[in-house]
Chain A
């Protein structure tokens, strides 16, 4: 324990007061993260894996024992989890427990780790849990790209609601309709947050992610598959139940893979009828097709009603490949990376303008072929 700062493990009198008060209530003996404490006719009992059994203690002896090296971390740890965090907000508590691997690591081991900071990746951000005074926990949240950056190089925030602003636009100022898209801007930091504010901040950056993660962990996640979601729709969305299964595959591949959305897709076409598309490896699950996917599916439902036509186009082999390169570049969001003078890239702007000049007629039709074959001019 020598590596943990003294102030972090010191026990405050009020913390022991709280412990005694709890023992005096009707809740029975305390068994928590290795701390055992009880009271009976012989006096108080107190033990931890490091302290051995203390029995028949007077209140004064109990207070003294509570501050011993082998006991103090257990007392402050108990205080943090049972008094500060409490049990209201089960999802919040579960997340904070996970942030320090509380169910796997002993209290002294955790205190050593927390002293240097324990990291949890969540979407594109990293939450770092540390020890505060007297075993309190503090949390820091920053973008994964900013791990290692000096705090004073980042814009500091402390109000969880400030995260709303951070999450609104991407780095090009475009509105982010999907909070789990991997387009969260970097350059900011929430420092020194309490547990409630830390979870609140995550809930702004990734709405409902903590609740759904914990429900999944507790085997209670209510996954709603595509069929059920589609059948539930009314109004302008009721048509999406007509989208063919094959097209639902393409929807998942288009929208839900990790390059587009960091939630891990848990919904399938139907119970027992899985989609082949990669569902991703995100920390938190997606339990149902989101409103963006439903709205896009409405468009695809209409488009997929069209019959195919056979068109004839004249293209050189390089032009065919260029068309493929353009589709790839748009689909992968690479347009901005293609340098102006890089004419080796099919999706280069000059290359594309050249193709348009050569192959489009004045109406913008490829090879002068009308879209509607009956429209032959």
Chain B
């Protein structure tokens, strides 16, 4: 009996933060690859403290739905799950290479394969590309297009920038897009100046974020000049300084994220090969409903979480 537990940040203020987590859990559940698929959250229920006791299986694969290694993956999650004897050295990671560590949960006695975050897995590169396909509605997108991968930057977590660089480099190596550039919200090269970094007229901009929130729905669109006021929405693509910007929103909402979660579990020893193939196909949207469109125009006004600690604060 093996169970999958996806752990994520969640929010006290709105359901959007956990929506992708639930969606990916549903995708994986429908493959039947695991006896149980559960979700646990820092800010929602079941809490990280109590999620394991909702799982009946003795063996549990825990996958953090976070973009990079850092405070949450190294301290908060293992502590709250009560992983006995956890030390970050168990991952032996250079900031990008955390794979898995097997520990015992003190309260439930379950064997937990605690995996690295989805954001640093190599399969995440494919999700970025898939996101570009989805937002442009073109399964072959690449020719004549630039791709920007956007992250926070190093200010709060140096690994966050490492993950962005890593995937930008991997997309570049595919030789599929004309140009690939890593951009940041709080350091150079800045996402505000996106058009200065590209020759190509068409640029797909994909933020490496787990869920849509005020960074991806408000700050980045306004910073790039897609709109003066995020509440009025913006077009996809939008014209900015002679470029067409195809802004994709958080990569984490892309269905193929479920695949990265499965890859993490498979790397940790879960027996799920056929599920991976199913998910890769089932989450492809470009042929069916990849129509580019206008985003919601009546979004909720900006809200920070109760205390200003957002997922980005340490991930």
Given contacts A177-B12, A295-B43, whether A208 and B307 have CB atoms under 8 Å apart is: no
> A236 contacts B309, CB within 8 Å?
yes
Min distance, Cβ A242 to any Cβ of chain B, angstroms: 15
Whole-angstrom CA separation of A236 from B26 in the bound complex: 32
Q: Is B53 an interface residue (CB 8 A)?
A: yes
**B79 CB contacts on chain A under 8 angstroms:** 232, 234
Given contacts A208-B45, A234-B75, A236-B309, whether A292 and B51 have CB atoms under 8 Å apart is: no
- Per-residue contact bits, chain B 282-315, to A (CB 8 Å; 1 contact, 0 not): 0000000000000000000000011111000110
Whole-angstrom CA separation of A252 from B18 in the bound complex: 27
Pick from B44, B45, B56: contact of A92, CB below 8 A.
Answer: B56
Please provide the chain B residues from 5 to 42 with a CB less than 8 Å away from any CB of chain A in the complex.
11-15, 22, 26, 41-42
Please provide the chain A residues from 134 to 181 with a CB less than 8 Å away from any CB of chain B in the complex.
161, 164, 168-169, 175, 177-179
Min distance, Cβ A219 to any Cβ of chain B, angstroms: 15
Pick from B13, B15, B53, B305: contact of A211, CB below 8 A.
Answer: B53
Q: Is B173 an interface residue (CB 8 A)?
A: no
> B47 contacts A291, CB within 8 Å?
yes
> A291 contacts B12, CB within 8 Å?
yes
Q: Is B266 an interface residue (CB 8 A)?
A: no
**B15 CB contacts on chain A under 8 angstroms:** 168-169, 175
Given contacts A295-B12, A299-B306, whether A235 and B314 have CB atoms under 8 Å apart is: yes
> A235 contacts B45, CB within 8 Å?
no
Q: Is A272 an interface residue (CB 8 A)?
A: no
**B51 CB contacts on chain A under 8 angstroms:** 208
- 8 tightest A-B contacts by CB? A207-B46, A207-B45, A208-B50, A177-B12, A211-B53, A89-B56, A295-B306, A208-B46
10 contacts between A and B (CB under 8 A): A92-B56, A177-B43, A222-B107, A235-B76, A235-B314, A236-B313, A290-B45, A290-B47, A291-B44, A295-B307
Task: Mark A residues whose CB is within 8 Å of B.
Answer: 88-89, 91-92, 161, 164, 168-169, 175, 177-179, 203, 207-208, 211-212, 215, 222, 224, 232, 234-237, 287-288, 290-292, 295-296, 298-299
Task: Mark B residues whose CB is within 8 Å of A.
Answer: 1, 11-15, 22, 26, 41-47, 49-51, 53-54, 56, 71, 75-76, 79, 107, 305-309, 313-314
